[in-house]
Amino acid sequence: MTRILAVAALTIGIGAAPAGAESVSIACSALGKESELCRSGAEAWASQTGNEVRFVATPNSETDRFALYLQMMAAQSPDIDVFQIDIIWPGLVASHLVDLTPYLPQGLKEQHFPSIIENNTVDGQLVAMPWFVDAGLLYYRKDLLERHGAAVPKQWSDLGATAEKIQAAERDAGNDRMWGFVFQGRAYEGLTVNALEWIASFGGGTIVDGDGKITVNNPRAASALDLVAGWVGKIAPEGVLSYTEEESRGVFQSGNAVFMRNWPYAWALANAPDSPIRDKVGVAPLPQGGPDGKHAAALGGQQLAVSKYSEHPDIAADLVLYLTGAAEQKRRAIEGSFNPTIRDLYTDPEILQANPFMGELGEVFANTVARPSRTTGNRYNRVSTEFFTAVHATLSGNGDAASNLAALDKQLNGLSRNGQW
């Protein structure tokens, strides 16, 4: 049944495959311009190589797309040769993917951000190539900071003080809906990435380290969460506890927040012709946890991987290398504002002309922090759920961070089966 479903979903073949050529299939996301740019990139590869590409339709929902992938992988179906996978999936599906290392020309791997290559390497095998990257960013109102003589905050404590000052002044001036800071506080994966950024910036670790050790129960992590919990109802609305990306953006883009944490996609929307804050927005790295802290942005993005059950893995790998190469990443950045995973592209004049904000992202992407999906494998979803539940309790005032992290530590140790993930 899996094979019948997949074959029915195959939509279009690009180019007539000449004698000796082969046909491979790819499953891309259908969101926004992703499908369009995937098709045009694959079409160029097909024309160049003489091979044929077929497309597998996928659901809009990432969760549903992942479920389709798991179904096909479990059946060892050859109907998808190339998968587009989320950055937190390599550890969950690595056993179904081809090691791409033998296909890489010398020096190619080093062109990409090291943290993404590390994220995509499972048990020494590079199971996916970086395609585009996301990372958490600090958005701020340039006009408000200038009006009130404030600098872009370098530390989270600076953000808190600046947000409180400008919020009070703007409310006194008549905008009683103004808030200092909005973020993603709902109990879901978005809170995992926000809280990971706070904790890592304070030097509090990454929930579970690369060796599988649970590290989240420590004073630095507790300090980070207690700081943010103190902001809820003060510089962040109570409703932030139910915000996802879009609710946060809605408040910020309506002109009612000084600072916002969000992904790069919000830039184009905040500067759209009908946006109330068009040309009033700046982007910066998320603040450090303190003088001895660091900038830490949670890693997001998409990768391309070759199925272990492909009948043409060499050709599929060639397609992956083409689509993730510098020329194609440049085209996608210019036409669709997709953030490259190749660091040198962040100084490319044509990319910067199309996306001025990207010039500020090289440092951000070089300091990303990955969620522990690679280490925890198929238990990552449970780990994340336990983590964001504990964080949400802290932000909601249901216990302090130290108590909630101690309870979380016990839960995660139970999941890890005595440290073995």
Express each pLDDT in 14-40 by its tens digit: 444 454 689 999 999 876 678 889 999
Contact status, residue 155 vs residue 286, Cβ threshold 8 Å: no
Contact status, residue 299 vs residue 90, Cβ threshold 8 Å: no
State residue 350's pLDDT score.
96
Same CATH topology for 2-135+299-369 and 137-298+373-415?
yes
pLDDT confidence band for 3 (50 / 70 / 90): very low
Q: Which range (95-99, 144-148, 300-304, 370-374) has the least confidence? A: 370-374
**Helix axis angle, 219-229 to 156-172, nearest 10°:** 0
Segment 118-138, tens digit of pLDDT: 989 999 999 999 999 988 999
State residue 239's pLDDT score.
98
| Domain 137-298+373-415 class in CATH | alpha beta
State residue 13's pLDDT score.
46
Residue 103 has pLDDT above 70, yes or no: yes
pLDDT confidence band for 101 (50 / 70 / 90): very high
Q: Which range (59-73, 116-130, 141-155) has the least confidence? A: 59-73
pLDDT confidence band for 10 (50 / 70 / 90): very low
Contact status, residue 9 vs residue 57, Cβ threshold 8 Å: yes
Length of the chain counted residue by residue: 421
CA distance 228 to 235: 10
β-pairing, 52-56 with 23-27? Answer: parallel
Mean pLDDT of 258-283: 91
State residue 419's pLDDT score.
65
Sign of CA dihedral 84, 90, 96, 101: positive
- Mean pLDDT taken over the chain: 91
Spatial CA neighbour of 405 closest among 187, 214, 233: 214
| DSSP for residue 104 | S
Mean pLDDT of 306-319: 98
Residue 54 has pLDDT above 90, yes or no: yes
Task: Look at 421 and 288; give whichever has higher pLDDT.
Answer: 288
Residue 93 has pLDDT above 50, yes or no: yes
State residue 65's pLDDT score.
83
Spatial CA neighbour of 225 closest among 5, 21, 396: 396
170 backbone φψ class: left, alpha, beta (φ>0; ψ -120 to 50)? alpha
Strand runs labelled E in 278-327: 281-284, 297-306
CA distance 311 to 183: 45
What CATH number does the domain located at 2-135+299-369 have? 3.40.190.10
State residue 396's pLDDT score.
98
State residue 53's pLDDT score.
96
State residue 120's pLDDT score.
93
State residue 5's pLDDT score.
39
State residue 370's pLDDT score.
87
**Helix axis angle, 189-201 to 219-229, nearest 10°:** 120
CA distance 208 to 382: 13
Extract the tokens encoding 336: 């669709």
**Which of 65-74, 82-91, 225-234, 284-293 shows the highest mean pLDDT?**
225-234
Segment 320-349, tens digit of pLDDT: 999 999 999 999 998 888 899 999 999 999
Q: What are the structural domain ranges in the chain?
A: 2-135+299-369, 137-298+373-415
Q: Which range (109-113, 262-266, 273-277) has the least confidence? A: 262-266
Q: Which residues of 149-187 are buried (b: 16+ CB within 10 A; e: fewer)?
A: ebebbebbbebbebbbbbbeebeeeeeeebbbbbbbbbb
Contact status, residue 294 vs residue 173, Cβ threshold 8 Å: no
State residue 204's pLDDT score.
97
pLDDT confidence band for 61 (50 / 70 / 90): low
Spatial CA neighbour of 82 closest among 309, 341, 420: 309
CA distance 297 to 285: 8
Residue 8 has pLDDT above 60, yes or no: no
Per DSSP, what are the bridge partners of residue 146? Answer: none
State residue 31's pLDDT score.
65
Sign of CA dihedral 197, 201, 206, 209: positive
Quote the pTM value.
0.78
> How far is residue 154 CA from its own chain's centroid?
22
> How far is residue 150 CA from its own chain's centroid?
30
Sign of CA dihedral 65, 67, 73, 76: negative
State residue 404's pLDDT score.
98
